[in-house]
A and B are shown apart, each in its own frame.
Chain A
Amino acid sequence: MISIALEKVLGGINLNVDVELPNNGLTVFFGPSGSGKTSVVNLLAGLMTPDKGLIKIQDRVIFDSENRVSVPPYARRMGYIFQESRLFPHLTVNSNLRYGYRDGHQIRFDEVVELLGIGHLLKRRPHHLSGGEKQRVAIGRALLTNPDLLLMDEPLSALDELRKAEIIPFIKRVRDEFYTPIVYVTHSTHEVESLANTVVMMKNGAVTRFGEAADVMTDIKQAMMKEAV
Chain B
Amino acid sequence: MELTDVESEAIYLSLKVSFWAVLICLPLALPVSWLLARKEFIGKNILNGIIHLPLVLPPVVMGYLLLVSFGTNGFLGAYLKEWFGLTFVFSWRGAALAAAVVSFPLMVRTIRLSYEAMDRKLEAAAYTLGARPIRVFFTVTLPLIMPGVLAGCILAYARCLGEFGATVTFVSNIPGETRTIPIAIYNLVQQPDGDAMAGRLVLISLVLAMVALVGAEVLNKRLGKILNG
Contact = CB atoms under 8 A, between A and B. Distances in A.
Given A47-B128, A74-B129, A78-B128, 17 more contacts: A46-B127, A72-B127, A74-B127, A74-B130, A74-B132, A74-B133, A75-B130, A77-B130, A86-B122, A88-B122, A88-B125, A89-B122, A89-B144, A90-B144, A142-B128, A145-B130, A151-B128
Contacts of B136: 74
Contacts of B133: 74
Closest 5 CB pairs of A and B: A127-B229, A100-B129, A80-B128, A73-B127, A86-B125
Nearest to B135: A74
A126 interface: yes
A80 B124 CA distance: 10
Contact of B129 (A90, A142, A151): A142
Q: Which of B125, B132, B136, B226 has the largest number of chain A CB atoms within 10 A?
A: B125
Nearest to A102: B130
Interface string A110-144: 00000000000000011110000000000001100
Contact of B143 (A90, A99, A127): A90
Q: Which residue among A89, A141, A145, A151 has the maximum number of chain B CB atoms within 10 Å of its CB?
A: A89
Contacts of A89: 122, 144, 227-229
B129 A99 contact: yes
Contacts of A88: 122, 125-126, 140
Interface in B101-132: 121-122, 124-132
A45 interface: yes
Contacts of A84: 121
Q: Which of A47, A76, A88, A145 has the most CB of B within 10 A?
A: A88
B9 to A, nearest CB: 42
Nearest to B127: A73
21 contacts: A45-B128, A47-B127, A47-B128, A72-B127, A73-B124, A73-B128, A74-B128, A74-B133, A77-B130, A78-B128, A80-B128, A89-B122, A89-B227, A89-B229, A90-B227, A100-B129, A100-B130, A125-B229, A127-B229, A142-B128, A151-B128
A82 interface: yes
A79 interface: yes
Nearest to B133: A74
Interface string B191-229: 000000000000000000000000000000000001111
Contacts of A47: 124, 127-128
B72 to A, nearest CB: 47
Interface size class of A (residues with CB under 8 A): 20 to 34
A78 B130 CA distance: 8
B146 to A, nearest CB: 8
Contacts of B125: 80, 82, 86, 88
A146 to B, nearest CB: 9
Nearest to A80: B128
B229 A128 contact: yes
Output the residue of B124, B136, B143 with the most chain A CB within 10 A.
Answer: B124
A82 B124 CA distance: 10
A145 B143 contact: no
Contacts of B144: 89-90
B133 to A, nearest CB: 8
B137 to A, nearest CB: 12
B126 A99 contact: yes
Interface string B40-71: 00000000000000000000000000000000
A45 B121 CA distance: 13
A45 B130 CA distance: 11
A63 B110 CA distance: 39
B226 A99 contact: no
Contacts of A79: 128-129
Nearest to A128: B229
